[in-house]
Amino acid sequence: MSSALHEQPYLESWRWMSRQIRCAMDPDEPRLIEHYLAEGRYLACCTATSPWTIAETSFRLLLDTAADVALPWHWRTYCLDQAWRPLRELERLSLCKCRLKRWQSYTWQLAICELQPSIPLNELVQGFSDDRPSDSY
């Protein structure tokens, strides 16, 4: 079996977990982030997927999720608290000047990240208060 065939189910699982994290589908399940990072480590060491890409994608996911004011505060802070983990891996993989410069940029982004308050749940409700159909067409 080719490595691409072997890699595909793990890559799909990793991507699904990233959507669950990014959309806070289960914000009371912090183990999801550990599973996501573990799946990324497996992809990086046992498939053709680039370790740098895995770590960089993981870092961006956690930082972007932390900055999303539409998500629950506790989920955002947990994502921010875990962002150092892929960042540490990026440091280990920074073997050239261009990657070292990107790692430094990411380190700075994490250092200055200041979370804004989450939007209250009642303000996230979409639609109009009057849901009756309009008489004018």
| Residue 134 included in any domain | no
One-letter identity of residue 27? P
Low-confidence ranges of the chain (pLDDT < 50): 1-2, 5, 137
pTM recorded for the entire structure: 0.84
pLDDT of residue 136: 52
pLDDT of residue 77: 97
| Residue 130 included in any domain | no
| Residue 86 included in any domain | yes
Q: Which domain holds residue 12?
A: 3-116
| Residue 51 included in any domain | yes
- Tokens 């250092």 sit on residue: 111
Q: Locate all alpha helices (DSSP H) within 23-133, ordered by sequence.
A: 31-46, 51-67, 73-82, 84-93, 97-112
Distance of CA 20 to the CA centre of its chain: 9
94-122 confidence digits (pLDDT tens): 999 999 999 999 999 999 999 999 998 77
| Residue 29 included in any domain | yes
Q: Specify the number of domains making up the chain.
A: 1
